[in-house]
Amino acid sequence: MPATLATITPAELVALTAAERPELGPALAEPNDVLLRVADKAIRHERERRAAAEPEAALAPAPAPAGLDIEAMPGISAGRKETLRQARALGASDKVLAGIASEPRMARKAEISLPGRYGNASRATGWARLGKANTPGVSWGEKEKDSLGHLVFTVDKPGKWEVMSSDGFNREERVKWQVTAYTVGDQVWLGAAKL
């Protein structure tokens, strides 16, 4: 059965490209880590683009199949498969593994970084908030720079978070994220998905 956007893996995308573009020849003959990362990013970008254009037909990664053969799971990156293997080794249930497999963002710790659209702007600013401002029980994410120097907001609680990002001039965006906690052995890992 031919791969679709919902099931294609980075290695399959590289192989298809090599078959369709023979002039690229040896450059695609043996996929290396760089090619696979580029292919994975291209797949995720196209899924996000299509999901934004057709929200009801969002192409999230395929849920974990019964029996949880991690290596055979379609649409799951190598990094996510490693996360699933670690979760299985720590005794995570099939339900937890399926949840981890379906999360667009995942952290193997009790905090996760949520990006803002304008995080790479020189005067970027923003905030992440759980709850309504100026109400009891509101939680705020910690503003940080990631390894690439982009502004991110680190949060440590599950729930519906709102992230506001501004370029420091007149552009701003607000995005809601659902942060979910997964119990993996004696640890808590957080996953996040845009709402």
Token pair recorded at residue 53: 């254009």
Give the torsion sign (CA, 105, 48, 58, 5).
Answer: negative
Q: Which of 15-19, 37-41, 53-57, 149-153 shows the lowest mean pLDDT across its residues?
A: 53-57
> Of the spans 121-130, 133-142, 155-164, which averages the highest pLDDT?
155-164
User: What pLDDT shows up at residue 67?
Assistant: 54
Question: Which of 25-29, 88-92, 122-126 has the lowest average pLDDT?
Answer: 25-29
The fold of the 105-194 domain, in CATH, is Immunoglobulin-like (2.60.40)
Question: What pLDDT, on the 0 to 100 scale, is given for residue 114?
Answer: 93
Enumerate the H helices of 5-164 as residue ranges. Answer: 10-20, 33-53, 78-89, 94-102
Mean pLDDT of the region 18-33:
70
Q: Collect all residues with Cβ–Cβ distance below 8 Å to 159 and sequence separation of at least 6.
A: 130, 131, 139, 178, 179
| pLDDT band with cut points at 50, 70 and 90 for residue 69 | confident
According to the model, what pLDDT value does residue 92 have? 87
Is the pTM value of this prediction over 0.75? no
pLDDT of res. 31: 65
How confident is the model over 113-133, as pLDDT tens digits?
Answer: 998 887 778 888 889 999 988
Q: What is the pLDDT of residue 177?
A: 94
Q: pLDDT, tens digit, for every residue of 35-67?
A: 667 777 777 767 777 766 665 444 444 444 445
List the domain boundaries for the chain: 1-59, 60-102, 105-194
pLDDT value at residue 58: 44
Q: Higher pLDDT residue, 128 or 168?
A: 128
DSSP string, 109-133: SS-EEEE-TTTTSTT-EEEEEES-T
pLDDT at 184 over 70: yes
